[in-house]
Structure 1
Amino acid sequence: MLLGDSGVGKTCFLVQFKDGAFLSGTFIATVGIDFRNKVVTVDDVKVKLQIWDTAGQERFRSVTHAYYRDAQALLLLYDITSKMSFDNIRAWLSEIHEYAQKDVVIMLLGNKADVSSERVVRTEDGETLAREYGVPFMETSAKTGMNVELAFLAIAKELKERAVQQLDEPRFQIHDYIESQKKKSSCCAFI
């Protein structure tokens, strides 16, 4: 499930992942909730993701709260060019802790990294907040596709590992997976 303030790029993020395209220009904000499906391969196993795109406006929050409890993973986005969207992350996390399952996978994403010339939220601030809440973090760009697929694949791998994990096996570490993928591409900021 994609969460975050209106205008942070949730719909573009989803379209980039699903279709490999960027929605340029202006478009109508998501009203209520929408979803898309995509099958990905994780460790030679096909995994079907059903990704819910939520409205970021306050007036739709009561609608989206109802979907939190069934979500297995939440990708929480802010816009690196909007201090307000970053400042609102704590409120989003509070709602997540109130309405979502206790073991829900959460990932923090600083979107719009392609417009770093307009950056007002430092990468370090995103890293610090993620560390405080114990969640993985990376910066992304729905426009260029930077780290979009990695975010979803890391979530899919975490969910797959949880589903098949034996009690005596070491637990999959999403942070370690992201770091290993970062080293392969060496283009991203993670904690």
Structure 2
Amino acid sequence: MVSIANCPVLKIAVVGDPGVGKTTLLRKFMREDSTLMKSKFTDIQVKYVDRNGHKVKLEIRDTAGLERHRSLTRSYYQGVTSIIFMYDVNNRDSFDNLTKWNDQYTRNCRDPVNSQTLIVGNKRQLTNDTPAVPADTARNFANHLEADFIEVSTSNSFNIDECFFRLVDNFFETHSKRQPGHSSSRVDLNSRPKYKNGYCCL
């Protein structure tokens, strides 16, 4: 088991239009077992998680309302290795604006090509109502960005943990492929939750 001091770090930024549920997503995931780091440009929530025998440190950045002025800059994205683009499934504009958020991230991130991207549709209430943004539409957009996709509901905590575990699992899967000679770094992918149509099926 890797010690806390030596465990890998995932630096995650969550961006999207105001009101899509970014702060609630972080609060529901972090709960009481997290700490807050203050930096010059943003607040960073820190949480250690164990996943399939691997420990990882998550540093998740809170926009603190900066997105209201489209003022996220290179300083905010500095060092980010994973990006979550979040929208409201019942608000088409918040989804259409993901293109602008992706453009901003690409301009300001040092290495957007090698970072991982997750598209997250929030406020999926699991009802029969037709959302403004169908899952297939969002999935096609994610495929265009070579990104992953999941739908969550911050109101009832549906898929909240799985959202971040998806990033962790993808990180270790990529890490194991880059170091094929080190079996200790491999993740048992058979133990990963299976996702279908954006949902986590345990």
TM-score category of the 2 structures, normalised to the smaller one = 0.7 to 0.9
Matched, 1:10 2:22: yes
Structure 1, residues 57-113: CA drift from partner, whole Å, max 9, x if none? 342x33443221310101110001111100101111111221122311110000111
Partner of 1:114: 125
Matched, 1:134 2:134: no
**Looking at both structures, which has the greater relative contact order when contacts are Cα pairs under 8 Å and sequence separation is at least 6?**
1
Moved more, 119-128 or 4-13: 119-128
TM-score (norm 2): 0.72
Partner of 1:156: 168
Structure 1, residues 11-70: CA drift from partner, whole Å, max 9, x if none? 0000111118xxxxxxxxxxx7432111111221221111112136342x3344322131
Pairing of 1:93-112 with structure 2 (within 5 A): 93-100=102-109, 101=111, 102-112=113-123
Greater helix share, structure number: 1
Structure 1 CA distance for aligned equivalents of residues 140 and 176 of structure 2: 31
Paired residue total: 169
Q: 1:91 to 1:166 in 2, by over 3 A?
A: closer
Structure 2 CA distance for aligned equivalents of residues 56 and 121 of structure 1: 25
Q: 1:118 to 1:15 in 2, by over 3 A?
A: farther
* Structure 2: segments with no counterpart, 5+ residues: 1-12, 33-40, 182-188
- Cα pair 2:135 2:197 within 8 Å, conserved: no
Partner of 1:57: 67
The partner residue of 1:145 within 157, 160, 163 is 157
Greater strand share, structure number: 2
**% of aligned pairs identical?**
26
